[in-house]
Amino acid sequence: MSVFTYRDGVMHVEGVAIPAMATQVGTPFYCYSAAALRAAWREFADATAGMNARVCYAMKANSSLAVVRLLGGMGAGADIVSEGEMRVALAAGIPAGRIVYSGVGKKPSELAAALQAGVGQFNVESAAELETLNAVAGQLGLKAEIAIRVNPDVDAGTHAKITTGRKGDKFGIDIDLAREAFALAGRLPHLKVAGVAMHIGSQLTSLDPYRGSIARVRELIGALREDGHRIERFDIGGGLGIVYRDETPPSVADFMATVRRETDGLDCELTFEPGRRVVGEAGILVGEVILVKPGAAKTFVIVDAAMNDLIRPTLYEAWHEIQPVREARPEAAKIRCDIVGPVCESGDFLAQDRDLSPLSAGDLIVVRSAGAYGAVMASTYNTRPLVPEVMVDGTRFAVTRPRPSIEAMLAAEWLPPWMEPLKGS
């Protein structure tokens, strides 16, 4: 059952009415359901029961401290791509040994911070990174445990901007060059080769790309073992899709069953790094209608949530379901409209050419499936404060990241010393 439901004509998140939150928090704001997060995590916990496996939440999808703390408390590790994400994971109580550090461009200072923190695994993506990590670990008198991320050259069949496993993508080492990279890693004294990693993309709705990729990496693991490497781990990454519109993504149970079959007898600990699948459908963006602007070509519903708050529609041509907080009457006529924000860009839209029940100034709307790649990609374009984040758990809710004031934004900037301060400042 969805945690986002109408009760007496008003949309609720679990047991909390959205208008009650909007009155206290102001709009726009993001809202996450603790019940939905727990349910999504349990799917992975249940499906990996009895497997030699660990699940590390991919924090790039949503790095809210409250979200990470909730998942970490249920046993999640963390897949990070920056020092900042590492510090959030540690602050949320995730042990450093359960953290996997991924990413194509890690600076020496970031590697040093992760080594000193005791991060459990580095997913290395180039020969140059192998050399750098070895040098940094040597300077610190430490040894880094690594997996080398390979690019299996498999098209995930998803949006071009979130496909990561093709030969032309920037991620990983070409699988045909992987044995050379592992040979180099084996010669470097401050690295310990532990496994092979892959991640072929995001929002996958078919298991076929996983089958093809696992088969290619399985063959590589056999060759690496013949070369004398002890390959103990296989990091399969994440990427399972969610429902935005009418997608039918595989169940977590079916995904894991496929992985079991494809890795049977491989004798590796498996690592999974779900992000969107855990948080995507657990979050919404709430906005308020500013005005409705009829035009000769189309009608614009202008709301206070904009592309700087949720960039996915304009960046990825992403489709998000939009619903009124006050339930529309079944007999209400529909209007064709664009839902747009106040940002000074023609690309500032949340939806285009939608048939919706008529909306008026002051009405609240909900943008569904906004828990992943929403707040984390937000900006202050047009000097708009970052959107606050709220978590609901049953009948209670709390602001987990407040909206900064304009005064706080100004206070974060300094004039250069040669500029005279304005009078009164």
Catalytic residue from among 56, 268, 337, 344: 344
Q: Are 241 and 247 in contact (CB under 8 A)?
A: yes
The whole-angstrom separation of Cα 310 and Cα 292 is: 20
Q: In the numeric block, which tokens belong to residue 215? A: 């088969």
At position 10, the amino acid (one-letter code) is: V
CA distances (Å), origin 365, targets 27, 29, 98, 305, 374: 10, 11, 39, 10, 16
Q: In the numeric block, which tokens belong to residue 243? A: 């429902």
CA torsion 397→401→403→408, rounded to 10°?
140
**CA atoms within a 13 Å half-sphere pointing along the CA-CB vector of 17:** 10
DSSP states along 312-337: HHHHH-----EEESBPPPTTPPPEEE
DSSP states along 112-168: HHHHHHT-SEEEE-SHHHHHHHHHHHHHHT--EEEEEEEE-----SS-GGGB--STT
The whole-angstrom separation of Cα 152 and Cα 216 is: 6
Please report the sign of the dihedral spanned by the C-alpha atoms of residue 206, residue 103, residue 282, residue 256: positive
Please report the sign of the dihedral spanned by the C-alpha atoms of residue 99, residue 262, residue 150, residue 231: positive
203 burial level (CB within 10 Å; 0-12, 13-18, 19+): buried
**CA atoms within a 13 Å half-sphere pointing along the CA-CB vector of 12:** 16
Q: In the numeric block, which tokens belong to residue 137? A: 């670990």
Q: Are 59 and 78 in contact (CB under 8 A)?
A: yes
The whole-angstrom separation of Cα 31 and Cα 388 is: 9
How many residues would you count in the chain?
Answer: 425
Identify the CA nearest to 244 among candidates 283, 210, 206, 208.
283
Active site residue 31: no
Q: In the numeric block, which tokens belong to residue 37? A: 């997060």
Please list the active-site residues. 344
